[in-house]
Structure 1
Amino acid sequence: MKRILKRAHSLVYQGFVILVFFLLWPLFYYYSRKPERYPVLNKLRGRVSFVSSALAGIFYKFHFETKIDWSRTYIICPNHTSNLDINAQNILIKNNYAFLGKDELLDNPVTRIFFKTVDIPVNRESNISSFRAFKKAEERLKNGTTMVIFPEGAIADHYPPQLIPFKNGPFRLAIALKIPIIPVTSPDIWKVLWDSGDQLGSRPGVCNIYIHKPIETAHLTIDDADKLKDEVYSLMKHKLENEI
């Protein structure tokens, strides 16, 4: 019975996402037409993330290690165990931003409009695709757009989820452009909805999101990329092992 209720809740949540998205479709379409409108597009998807989650009884509680200066450009590095991680970043970030994410999202009726405009799709199985995606990310960062890059690269298949090794890309990019990194740790979001929810469903609940203080990279060189990656990994792993 519990499994049936969780599967039903997952369908209800997905229904609310689709409903709210398509009610606002004319606005999404208008603000996706020109790059100068993308900041409003981002604000709109933040609203959709909050409202669709709230209608399903899912809420996000943000814990800040320090106040974030959203006038600066960052590379946001969250751990990744749930589709709700995307909602959390949509609600959290207060400046213009873009995701670097799997190209399968181009086939999703809700995320397609974003990955054809503001976000950057990548085929992680292709070195050429990854190279081109990170070059685009570099251009966005230089233009003042905060990038959201999941350092694990994907949601791991094992359950319950564990932090998996990080990719080098976001850390090399941060050092090359002297952009600070903000690690974001979500220790319990998977308990509300793991992965897409298709296997185990979902439930109402509060998702705790811990925003670590920014890590400056201006003093680092490319040779420090692995050290920076290990530092962020250890920081997030410690938080996951000592849940809020």
Structure 2
Amino acid sequence: MKKAISKSFGILYHIWYYVVMASVILAIFPFIYTTSRKEDTYDKFFRWARVWAKAVLILMGLRVKATGLEKIRKGQQYIIIANHASELDIMMTLALVPSPFVFIGKKELAKLPIFGYFYKRTNILVDRKSVSSKRRAMEMSGMRLAKGTGLCIFPEGGIPAKHELSPFKMGAFKLAVDYQVPILALAFPDNRRHFPDFTQGGYPGIVRAKILGEIVPKSKLEEHAPALRDESYRRIFDALNE
């Protein structure tokens, strides 16, 4: 009985999430539409995206309790990485990091009503089953980094089925080495519990975020990328298991 109630509430909570997400987008539509049309107005769009993210979290009854905010340097370009546990990860990252960045995300997100339209216009989409799509995503990522915009990559490559940190793929770390951009590592210990898959429950409350600081590439040698990956994995793994 208790499990059935939790499941039913979780379904209603997810429906509320999609209603809130779409409603906030519609409320700020004129601003995000005009600022998403050109790359040179992306910084303005990004500010509105942060407004959207914070509003969604508040209206879902989620309060972000962040530690380590002082480790984020204002105006610093980053390649942001985090464990991928929930759809909340997108809103949380936007709410926490003030420097403009774009997401590298799966192409399926472009199919979501309303949200998908703007996600496709402003971020880098990748088909993980296509080698050419992955190559193109890396090229576009490099172009963004060269122009001073940051990236957010969930290096597990998707939300893992098991409740544990999956091995990290190399893309984010190769880019960090090639463009000498510091990694900013985040850990989200509670997102899966508060907002799991559609039929698995979910509820409002406090969601923790741990900002683990910068991990700076030590050289432009490609051989350094695995060490950067391993250090990033260790920090996030340790933070999730504290």
- State if a TM-score over 0.5 links the two structures: yes
Q: Deviations over 1:66-102 (max 9, x none)?
A: 4321322110011100000000011112121100000
Counterpart of 2:65 in 1: which secondary structure? strand
Cα distance in 2 for partners of 1:226, 1:182 equals 16
Partner of 2:140: 136
**TM-score (normalised: structure 1):** 0.92
- Distance in 1 separating the partners of 2:60 and 2:169: 33
TM-score normalized by structure 2?
A: 0.93
- The 2-side partners of 1:13 and 1:61 are apart by 20
Cα distance in 2 for residues equivalent to 1:98 and 1:189: 21
Q: Deviations over 1:107-134 (max 9, x none)?
A: 1123323333221000111111101101
Q: Which residue matches 2:16?
A: 12
Runs of 4+ aligned residues of structure 1 deviating over 6 Å after TM superposition are none
Among 136, 142, 156, which residue is 1:152 paired with?
156
Task: Give the match for residue 206 of structure 1.
Answer: 206
Match of 1:184 in 2: 186
Q: Which amino acid aligns with 1:226?
A: P
Match of 1:84 in 2: 88
Unaligned runs of 5+ in 2: none
8 Å CA contact 2:11, 2:201 repeated in 1:
yes
- Counterparts of 2:57 and 2:76, CA distance in 1: 28
Q: Residues 195-214 of structure 1, C-alpha deviation per residue, up to 9 Å, x if partnerless?
A: xx312132101111111110
Task: Find the partner of 2:50 among 31, 46, 53.
Answer: 46
Q: Map of 1:214-225 to 2, 5 A cutoff?
A: 214-219=214-219, 221-225=221-225
Aligned to 1:240: 240
Paired letter, 1:179: V
The structure that is helix-richer by fraction is: 2
Task: Provide, for residues 132-155 of structure 1, a one-character-per-residue CA deviation record: whole Å limited to 9, x for no partner.
Answer: 101100110111101001110100
CA contact (8 A) 1:120 1:133 kept: yes
1:112 aligns with 2:108: no
Q: Which amino acid is 2:228 matched to?
A: L
Counterpart check, 1:60 vs 2:60: no
Match of 1:31 in 2: 35
Q: Which runs of 5+ in 1 are unaligned?
A: none
RMSD of equivalent CA atoms: 1.5
Which position in structure 2 is the counterpart of 1:163?
165
User: Given residue 221 of structure 1, which amino acid in structure 2 is its aligned partner?
Assistant: L
> 2-side partners of 1:133 and 1:115: how far apart?
15
Structure 1 position 184, deviation (Å): 0.6
Q: CA deviation at 1:237?
A: 0.7
Q: Distance in 1 between matches of 2:73 and 2:57?
A: 26
The C-alpha deviation readout for 1:150-200, integer Å capped at 9, x for no partner, is 110100123xx1100110110011011111001111111111102xx3121
Q: Is the 8 A contact 2:86 2:192 kept in 1?
A: yes
CA displacement, residues 22-59 of structure 1 (integer Å, 9 cap, x when unaligned): 12222221111121211121111211111122112112
User: Number of aligned pairs?
Assistant: 238
Q: 1:13, 1:53 within 8 Å by CA — same for their partners in 2? A: no
Name the SS for the 2:113 alignment partner.
Answer: coil
Counterparts of 1:218 and 1:143 in 2: how far apart (Å)? 21
